Amino acid sequence: MIMHYSVNTIPVGVLGASGYAGRELCTLVARHPRFQLAFATANEQRGQRMRVGGRDMTFAAPDDVRLSDAAVVFSALPHGASLPWVDRAAAAGAVVVDLSSDLRPGQGGAGQSKRAPVPYGMPELGASTRAAIRGASLVANPGCYPTSILLALAPLQASGLIAPGATIIANSASGVSGAGNSPKRELLFAEVADDYRAYGVGNTHRHLHEMRATLQTLGSDADLVFTPHLLPVARGILSTITVPLVEPLADPLALFRRAYAGEPFIEIAEEQPTLRDVARRNVVRISATMIAGTRQPTLLVTSAIDNLMKGAAGQAIQNANLMCGIDECAGLPA
């Protein structure tokens, strides 16, 4: 099949399109002013139709698509399975955003050890990160929990406000879509409804390594305790983060506002951010409050994202926009 695109259209492929992040990507591509979906693969669901952005599309088998048909390829394949396809897409000449953890910092897998690190796709970490993404042909899209936590910590670290040797406590609660849509008994409605629980306790969640490595890159020597929880909602993450400071902060919101001035996808709020505030939007919404009555000056930062948007597909589009040299906000509901 020969596809014709208008001059301004950028053909896009989505690998692993049947998962929640993959579907969200297809929807965002369908609404994007410049991107156009060239193919969307899903191995198990090959041949099945999906409705995306008001149009019907069909999942292709991975081996049936020509990767060179796409100028931009998003891989939403599972962790571990993504890397070979990322390499194939890159070899075919595509700009690639990898939503899996395979190439993120701190993974240290066998496949990764031989490779040069790729830019970490969190543009708001700072000017050098955004520049690196702009110039890259391959970017590792951050995890959902790291997005909500690292963007809440970066301004504090940059300001030298985190107490030396501090232990930062990050409690996160995530909607169920974060666990994917493979059928598992513990994710059934009748199991999850009316319930709430911690999981991955004791610093055993994979995202911890990604956060630690990034914090070290930012120059932090803090320890991190990360405890995720499973919420009975479909989408959204709220992180509640306690940070020991070197001294009390008179106006913590002002610090965040300064640090993120001009950022289109970061909102600093006086009121506590909620999952609803950020649903279906590519934003991080952050608030910060000094804790009263403790000897150790302590800041509470709360941070909300939609795990499928700023936590996955939305941030991937944002990165692809930067890599393609087009408006960073193109096609993203803010």
Q: Which residues are catalytic?
A: 144
In the complex, the smallest distance separating the C-beta of residue 226 from its own copies, rounded to whole angstroms, is 9
Q: How far is C-alpha 93 from the chain's CA centre?
A: 24
Task: Return the SS3 of 285.
Answer: strand
- Secondary structure string (H, E, C) spanning 196-252: CEECCCCCCCCHHHHHHHHHHHCCCCCEEEEEEEECCCCCCEEEEEEEEECCCCCCH
Pick 138 or 299: Cβ nearer its own copies:
299
In the complex, the smallest distance separating the C-beta of residue 38 from its own copies, rounded to whole angstroms, is 24
Q: How far apart are CA 135 and CA 34, in angstroms?
A: 19
Pick 129 or 303: Cβ nearer its own copies:
303
Q: How far apart are CA 78 and CA 86, in angstroms?
A: 12
In the complex, the smallest distance separating the C-beta of residue 1 from its own copies, rounded to whole angstroms, is 26
In the complex, the smallest distance separating the C-beta of residue 207 from its own copies, rounded to whole angstroms, is 14
Report residue 304 as tokens.
């909300």
Pick 137 or 204: Cβ nearer its own copies:
204
Q: How far apart are CA 70 and CA 272, in angstroms?
A: 41
What single-letter amino acid sits at 331? G
Give the Å distances, CA to CA, from 124 to 47, 211, 217, 310.
38, 15, 15, 12
Which residue(s) pair with 245 in the sheet? 162
Pick 91 or 198: Cβ nearer its own copies:
198
Q: How far apart are CA 295 and CA 305, in angstroms?
A: 31
Binding site for its own copies (CB under 8 A): 20, 54, 165, 167, 169, 171, 173, 175-177, 181-185, 187-199, 201-204, 223-225, 227, 229, 231-236, 238, 240, 242, 244, 272-276, 279, 287, 289-296, 298, 300, 302, 334
Pick 78 or 126: Cβ nearer its own copies:
78
Q: How far apart are CA 271 and CA 133, in angstroms?
A: 32
Contact 286, 273 (CB under 8 A): yes
Pick 181 or 217: Cβ nearer its own copies:
181
Q: How far apart are CA 332 and CA 334, in angstroms?
A: 6
In the complex, the smallest distance separating the C-beta of residue 192 from its own copies, rounded to whole angstroms, is 4
What single-letter amino acid sits at 25? L
In the complex, the smallest distance separating the C-beta of residue 160 from its own copies, rounded to whole angstroms, is 20
**In 3D, which of 261, 306, 267 has the Cα closest to residue 288?**
267
Which residue(s) pair with 282 in the sheet? none
